[in-house]
Amino acid sequence: MMRLKVDLTNPGQFFGCCGVFELAQRLWPQATAHFEHACFVLSHGNVSELVAKTAQAKIEVLEPSNQMSSALRLAEPFDLRLDWWKFERGLKTWAGSMSVDRIASSLKQDLPDALRNGFFDHGDIVVRDDDGRKVEPFYFDGRRGATALPLDVGFSSDKLSMKTVAYAATEFFTLLGLQRFRPAEVKPRIYRYRAWRTPLPVTMAALAAASTIPDDGPLLQFESVFRTDQRKHKAFSPAVPVPGDGND
């Protein structure tokens, strides 16, 4: 069994859990999962083994001529194709000049440290392994996204090139989780997800997360907000409970 501490108001942590589930069911096919208060619970598996195999798995660029937004493949033992950003433009947070492969690979190399330091709560300055240069994350994490918005803090940390903390496990596993688990879009760039309470296999859990099958878990809403004046880069905002949903 796996139990991960999760802040349900952070969409990055929610979809990070979904990414962990995606990989776990490929290693342990009988696995089910659900949310239990402030924890994500998987019926099978070991988080240390999952992280070790994830860190070792190669990320393959499937479109060599399109390095910036190519579809990717997380190789064996997972064999997971990643290309959701080609179809879900509203959820894509990075601009065309940013390499999805470079960001994902840099985040992946930091996963063993996250395992030792609170997993989704492990923050660090992520750097490339080839030259040590800082790498900007995807901005899926609500903590990171909120601090990058000029409206909230009075200035943009992006414009000042500040070396702000990124949460590698949250960012990396959200990239994976969004391949199958998609929030429901209720308005342009406004999304909802449900933290399902019933233990479910991965295919049914994806439906529950989008609130397309009944479940009494809490329903939350977040926005994919623009974080620069050019309106090219976005970030996931912290989520809030949906009024009138009746769940907590």
Cα(201)–Cα(233) distance, integer angstroms: 34
Residue 81 DSSP one-character state: E
| Residue 116 three-state SS | helix
Confidence of residue 147 (pLDDT cuts 50, 70, 90): low
Q: Locate 5 and state its tokens.
A: 């501490």
pLDDT of residue 124: 84
CB 168, CB 114: distance < 8 Å: yes
Torsion-angle region of residue 161: left (phi > 0), alpha (psi -120 to 50) or beta? left
pLDDT band at 155 (very low <50, low <70, confident <90, very high): very low
156 and 148 Cβ atoms separated by less than 8 Å: yes
Share of the chain above pLDDT 70, in %: 87
d(CA 138, CA 235) in angstroms, rounded, equals 8
Q: How many other CB atoms are there within 10 angstroms of residue 127's CB atom?
A: 15
CA distance 79 to 72: 10
In residues, how long is the chain? Answer: 248
- Rounded CA gap, 148 and 171, in Å? 15
Poorest-pLDDT segment among 3-12, 79-88, 136-145, 154-163: 154-163
Q: What is the pTM of this model?
A: 0.90
